[in-house]
Amino acid sequence: MTLLLVLMMGCKGDNRNSLDKEGNPESDSTSATDISIESILGPEVIELNLEKANKLVELPLACISTEYPNKLNQTLGSAKDLQSPKELHPAFYGCFDWHSAVHAQWALIKLLKQFPKLEKANEIKAKLEASLSKENIAAEVRYFQTENNKDYERTYGWAWVLKLSQELHTWDSDLGEELSENLKPLSDLMVANFTEFLPKLVYPIRVGEHTNTAFALSFAYDYAEAVKDTAFLSLIDKRAKEFYLKDDNCPVSWEPSGFDFLSPCLQEVDIMRKILPKAAFPLWINDFMPELMNKEFDMAVGRVSDRTDGKLVHLDGLNFSRAWVLYGLANTYPDKFSHLKAVADRHVAKSFPNLVGDSYEGGHWLGSFALYALQEAKVKANK
């Protein structure tokens, strides 16, 4: 029995080791205090200067008009539904799948707003204007209104449409106003879809991939707050509290699963940070993930064994999404969670160097996640 217990404990420690790019075990010996994004990539990375932005913009710019390979994820009602991606989705046909095309265009707008002197600014504007035309958005709306695809991209793609709409809504420019108005029928449809679906969802979906409910609620909340949609805000607030307010002891030690690009525990933290009053959130987090209060808290970064595998490369996305949640905590509650910034930095530092020159499996979407993490690193909460 003693020998069996020793073997079990040994295996429990060993099988959490990760693999390097060649499939060999990697060491987890580096602690959060040993490494930060500044020490790996220099302080200018988090600042995202014009030079870095010019490199980062190449990822979404290249993929939004790359039609193949393509994963349609559609339900066929008849033979007439067998059309090309561009015919089915004239606004969002590139970047391998529909939702990636949406958040790639969000990334282009985000970078263009922050760096109007991008080398390819004119090309970006032209592509956005062509992609987000009234006619193209009308076609996207019609697709969602077909009998077999009313739940298409539920809820991940819905949430990214609202994030895109939020970015356009806050872009003080003639082009921003034009594209925001063009997109409005689709964003209004997404709000209607959420409004119909959320009351029917008895249990939240707690996974590390696209259907995670907390992720969708978090992005939807940001949109509703930006456009001052009080009815939508009220629904999100109500459902989030019903889903998560009584949760405690989230099993974060079980994470990550092999294909995760979201942390189920941390995504829940993110939406509750946004909806709970500042006096109430620390009480909730103390029940849900009390380890985050520990100044020595750390998480091993997600490690990718094969960067050409579209599912395994999800773990780079996990590093970025974990980081944006931890940055949000550190910025909203610096007196309680400032120590989490180093953990977030280490996650970004692990995956950021993989972006430029990466295979298409990761390159078509990871830039958006990296950009959102860097954005959240600098956001100061005003709640």
**Domain assignment of residue 336, yes or no:** yes
Which band of pLDDT confidence, cut at 50, 70 and 90, is reported for residue 31? Answer: very low
> Given this model, what pLDDT does residue 362 score?
79
CB 235 within 8 A of CB 201: no
> Given this model, what pLDDT does residue 363 score?
80
Classify residue 150 as exposed, middle or buried by CB count within 10 Å of its CB (0-12, 13-18, 19+).
Answer: middle
**Domain assignment of residue 81, yes or no:** yes
Measured CA to CA, the distance from residue 314 to residue 210 in angstroms comes to: 11
pLDDT digits (tens, 9 = 90+) for 163-184: 999 999 999 999 999 999 999 9
Residue from 18, 25, 11 nearest 256 by CA: 18
**Domain assignment of residue 24, yes or no:** no
Mean pLDDT, range 191-220, rounded to an integer = 98
b/e per residue, 347-358, with b = 16+ CB within 10 A?
A: bbbbbbebbeeb
CB 96 within 8 A of CB 365: yes
Which band of pLDDT confidence, cut at 50, 70 and 90, is reported for residue 380? Answer: low
Mean pLDDT, range 319-337, rounded to an integer = 98
**Domain assignment of residue 22, yes or no:** no
Compare 80 and 29 and report the one with higher pLDDT: 80
pLDDT digits (tens, 9 = 90+) for 110-155: 999 999 999 999 999 999 999 999 999 999 999 999 999 999 999 9
Measured CA to CA, the distance from residue 17 to residue 116 in angstroms comes to: 43
Range of the domain at 362: 36-378
Mean pLDDT, range 186-212, rounded to an integer = 98
Q: Which amino acid is at 217?
A: L
CB 102 within 8 A of CB 164: yes
CB 249 within 8 A of CB 287: yes
Helices (H), the chain: 2-14, 37-41, 44-47, 50-56, 58-63, 85-88, 98-114, 121-131, 134-144, 156-169, 174-197, 213-227, 230-244, 264-275, 281-288, 314-332, 334-337, 340-351, 360-363, 366-378
Measured CA to CA, the distance from residue 311 to residue 142 in angstroms comes to: 30
pLDDT digits (tens, 9 = 90+) for 137-149: 999 999 999 999 9
Measured CA to CA, the distance from residue 255 to residue 302 in angstroms comes to: 10
Which band of pLDDT confidence, cut at 50, 70 and 90, is reported for residue 381? Answer: low
**Domain assignment of residue 295, yes or no:** yes
Q: What would you report as the CA-atom Rg of the chain, rounded to the nearest whole angstrom?
A: 21
> Given this model, what pLDDT does residue 27 score?
40
CATH code at position 284: 1.50.10
pLDDT digits (tens, 9 = 90+) for 353-365: 888 767 778 788 9
Tell me the torsion sign for CA atoms 112, 117, 118, 120.
positive
Which band of pLDDT confidence, cut at 50, 70 and 90, is reported for residue 41? Answer: very low
SS3 state at 19 = strand
pLDDT tops 50 at residue 229: yes
> Given this model, what pLDDT does residue 130 score?
98
Q: State the average pLDDT for the chain.
A: 89
Which band of pLDDT confidence, cut at 50, 70 and 90, is reported for residue 12? Answer: very low
> Given this model, what pLDDT does residue 46 score?
58
> Given this model, what pLDDT does residue 354 score?
86
SS3 state at 18 = strand
**Domain assignment of residue 9, yes or no:** no
Residues in the chain: 383
Residue from 211, 253, 214, 251 nearest 236 by CA: 214
Mean pLDDT, range 17-44, rounded to an integer = 41
Q: Which amino acid is at 289?
A: M
Q: What is the DSSP string of 180-245?
A: HHHHHHHHHHHHHHHHHHGGG--S----SSTT-HHHHHHHHHHHHHHHT-HHHHHHHHHHHHHHHT
Please state, for a pLDDT cut of 70, what percent of the chain lies above it. Answer: 86
**Domain assignment of residue 29, yes or no:** no
Residue from 333, 226, 213, 313 nearest 273 by CA: 333
SS3 state at 305 = coil
CB 183 within 8 A of CB 139: no
CB 206 within 8 A of CB 213: yes
Compare 9 and 103 and report the one with higher pLDDT: 103
Which band of pLDDT confidence, cut at 50, 70 and 90, is reported for residue 34? Answer: very low
CB 236 within 8 A of CB 244: no
**Domain assignment of residue 30, yes or no:** no
Q: How many domains does one find in the chain?
A: 1
> Given this model, what pLDDT does residue 355 score?
86
- Highest-pLDDT range among 22-31, 91-100, 373-382: 91-100
CB 367 within 8 A of CB 375: no
